[in-house]
């Protein structure tokens, strides 16, 4: 019996598939076992034609092909190539012993050429130290898994010649440096006129990975500022770039390049829950996974449907999302920094000195209540963004701090946190860990008690303020959380105060 190695993936998890080919006397026919999916059954005709058009023959006997393991649903056409190779080996056109050396994946066109498929990097990064023979169109992406050897091929004929030693193919060796030079650049904070307290809040959010809500009237520049958040996040590590590329490669047609930047996703408020969380018939990753390791921006937060906001609860809690498809449960990572924006009231002008808010009190409460509960509970920072006149952006960037300078502080603060918190950023701290690592000094504690009474803060808000204060102290590289850190942290509970004002 001939055995050809292949592999496949569910979600972003890869597994090995073995194609076993057996030749026996009997009526000439091709029998497939372990192929419940209709698209793989169709493969038989495609493979037969591709072999013929490549100038080879199928042995005139009974050929049985089995795909193992049987219990995993195997779909798609990427088993075409290993199945065809198994048949050719059964006809003694390829020495079967060579199959041990490589994984083979690829869809065959009728003329014998090979078609690329999505998610090749998921396969190659799962089997390091292995060799793969893959269609040219997806070989480059696959080769970002540096430890695997990738052989790029165009046709079935080329693969057969390669395996028989008639053609020499060198493994790909892509240069990430070349891509890094082309790295896209996010807009810079130096271009933002004024709004220093908003920039400061975003610096804190980026440092501790605290979810943040910006509240301000129309035209205050909330979106313009939010778009600059990725520019102060630390650059992704190599492993993070691989993870980002894997998600991208199963989400949409992908150019094969490495994803070099943290993502910034901004789904519209009319988006469905499936668009945000993923799943549906294709089981593709949703916006929360496409924002993995980057930022998810939700503008006009109260305009999102209730069930959509509810669907964010699990990923915000667990950093991942599980979607169902047929009998499979697919889990995608979804560790994002949420940045949300909203008007303070339906008309937008509550608290504005220059314009009068025309909303009734119950309208304001109804509007703010839309985001209460699941989302607001998980947002650490809330900040008011006032209007600053008509010009938000300035070409005179000499006086404002650049994103690069802010990012250096963010990186330093994160390094301190990761070391002290044993691999966690401050937003993830549990109440016990807050008591251990973020407890303020006596003066800070006294201020907390006063704030609790005067602002009528909940216990939940209490711990959020301490987490924020911890991040502020980390930005200054101070070991102990002091009164000044607590005092600043209290300012970032804007909505609590606003609700009080409205009430």
- Which range binds Zn ion by CB under 5 A, 158-166, 244-252, 341-349, 442-450? 341-349
In the complex with Zn ion, which residue's Cβ is closer, 134 or 350? Answer: 350
Among 50, 350, 447, 465, binds Zn ion (CB under 5 A): 350
Q: Of 274-313, which residues contact Zn ion (CB under 5 A)?
A: none
**DSSP conformation letters of 38-67:** HHHHTHHHHHHHHHHHTT----SSEEEEEE
From the CB of 364, what's the least distance to Zn ion, in Å? Answer: 6
Q: How does DSSP classify residue 165?
A: T
In the complex with Zn ion, which residue's Cβ is closer, 75 or 352? Answer: 352
- Which range binds Zn ion by CB under 5 A, 91-99, 144-152, 351-359, 368-376? 351-359
From the CB of 305, what's the least distance to Zn ion, in Å? Answer: 22
In the complex with Zn ion, which residue's Cβ is closer, 298 or 357? Answer: 357
From the CB of 212, what's the least distance to Zn ion, in Å? Answer: 22
Q: Give yes or no for residue 63 binding Zn ion (CB under 5 A).
A: no
Q: Judge whether 388 and 193 are in contact, CB under 8 Å.
A: yes
Other C-beta atoms closer than 10 Å to the C-beta of 433 total 17
Bridge partners of residue 321, in order along the sequence: 332
Q: Give yes or no for residue 215 binding Zn ion (CB under 5 A).
A: no
Q: Give yes or no for residue 345 binding Zn ion (CB under 5 A).
A: yes
The SS3 call for residue 265 is strand
Mask 94-113, x = binds Zn ion (CB under 5 A)? Answer: --------------------
In the complex with Zn ion, which residue's Cβ is closer, 215 or 486? Answer: 215
Tell me the backbone φ, ψ of residue 347, rounded to 5 degrees: -80, -25
Q: Give yes or no for residue 347 binding Zn ion (CB under 5 A).
A: yes
In the complex with Zn ion, which residue's Cβ is closer, 347 or 429? Answer: 347
Q: Give yes or no for residue 148 binding Zn ion (CB under 5 A).
A: no
- Which range binds Zn ion by CB under 5 A, 75-83, 120-128, 286-294, 338-346? 338-346
**DSSP conformation letters of 217-241:** -TTS-HHHHHTTGGGGSPPPPHHHH
- Which range binds Zn ion by CB under 5 A, 34-42, 84-92, 348-356, 404-412? 348-356
In the complex with Zn ion, which residue's Cβ is closer, 256 or 494? Answer: 494
Burial of 249-270, coded b for 16+ CB within 10 Å and e otherwise, reads bbbeebebebbbbbbbbbbeee
Number of residues that bind Zn ion (CB under 5 A): 5
Q: Let me know the angle formed at the C-alpha of 92 by 86 and 96, rounded to the nearest 5 degrees.
A: 50
Q: Give yes or no for residue 359 binding Zn ion (CB under 5 A).
A: yes
In the complex with Zn ion, which residue's Cβ is closer, 350 or 447? Answer: 350
Cα–Cα distance, 438 to 179 (Å, whole number): 40
SS3 sequence, 303-370? Answer: HCCHHHHHHCHHHHHHCEEEEEECCEEEEEECCCEEEEEECCCCCCCCCCCCCCCCCCHHHHHHHHHC
In the complex with Zn ion, which residue's Cβ is closer, 244 or 347? Answer: 347
Among 357, 381, 425, 465, binds Zn ion (CB under 5 A): 357
In the complex with Zn ion, which residue's Cβ is closer, 137 or 351? Answer: 351
How far CA 409 is from CA of 45, 196, 203, 415, in Å, comes to 61, 16, 8, 10
Cα–Cα distance, 135 to 169 (Å, whole number): 13
Q: Which residues bind Zn ion (CB under 5 A)?
A: 345, 347, 350, 357, 359
């Amino acid at each position: 019996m001939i055995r050809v190695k292949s592999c496949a993936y569910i979600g972003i998890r890869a597994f090995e598939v073995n194609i076993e080919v057996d030749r026996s006397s009997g009526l000439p026919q091709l029998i497939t076992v372990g192929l419940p999916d209709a698209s793989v059954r169709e493969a038989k005709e495609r493979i037969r034609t591709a072999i013929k058009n490549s100038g080879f023959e199928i042995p005139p006997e009974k050929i049985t092909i089995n795909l193992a393991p049987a219990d995993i649903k195997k779909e798609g056409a990427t088993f075409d190539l290993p199945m065809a190779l198994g048949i050719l080996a059964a006809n003694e056109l390829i020495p079967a012993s060579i199959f041990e050396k490589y994984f083979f994946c690829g869809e065959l066109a009728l003329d014998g050429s090979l078609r690329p498929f999505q998610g090749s990097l998921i396969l190659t990064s799962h089997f390091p130290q292995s060799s793969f023979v893959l269609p040219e169109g997806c070989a480059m992406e696959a080769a970002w898994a540096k430890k695997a050897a990738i052989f790029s091929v165009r046709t079935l004929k080329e693969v057969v010649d390669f395996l028989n030693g008639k053609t020499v193919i060198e493994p790909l060796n892509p240069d990430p440096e070349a891509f890094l030079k082309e790295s896209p650049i996010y807009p810079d904070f130096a271009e933002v006129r004024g709004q220093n307290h908003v920039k400061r809040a975003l610096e804190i959010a980026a440092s501790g990975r605290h979810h943040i809500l910006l509240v301000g009237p129309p035209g205050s520049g909330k979106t313009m500022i939010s778009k600059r958040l990725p520019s102060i996040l630390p650059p992704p590590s190599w492993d993070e770039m691989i993870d980002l590329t894997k998600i991208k490669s199963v989400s949409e047609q992908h150019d094969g390049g490495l994803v070099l930047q943290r993502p910034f996703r901004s789904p519209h408020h009319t988006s469905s829950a499936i668009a945000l969380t993923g799943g549906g018939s294709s089981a593709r990753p949703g916006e929360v996974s496409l924002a993995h390791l980057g930022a998810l921006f939700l503008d006009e937060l109260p305009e999102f449907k209730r069930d959509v906001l509810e669907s964010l609860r699990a990923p915000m809690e667990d950093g991942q999302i599980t979607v169902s498809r047929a009998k499979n449960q697919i889990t995608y990572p979804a560790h994002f920094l949420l940045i949300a924006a909203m008007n303070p009231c339906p008309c937008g002008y509550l608290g504005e000195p220059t314009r009068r808010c025309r909303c009734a009190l119950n309208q304001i409460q109804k509007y703010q209540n839309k985001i209460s509960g699941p989302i607001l509970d998980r947002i650490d920072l809330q900040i008011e963004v006032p209007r600053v006149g008509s010009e938000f952006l300035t070409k005179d960037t000499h006086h404002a701090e650049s994103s690069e300078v802010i990012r250096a502080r963010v990186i330093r603060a994160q390094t301190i946190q990761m070391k002290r918190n044993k691999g966690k950023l401050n937003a993830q701290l549990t109440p016990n860990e807050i008591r251990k690592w973020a407890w303020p000094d006596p003066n800070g504690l006294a201020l907390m008690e006063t704030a609790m009474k005067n602002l009528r803060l909940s216990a939940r808000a209490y711990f959020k303020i301490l987490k924020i204060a911890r991040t502020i102290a980390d930005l200054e590289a101070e070991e102990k959380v002091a009164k000044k850190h607590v005092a600043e942290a209290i300012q970032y509970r804007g909505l609590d105060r606003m609700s009080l004002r409205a009430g």
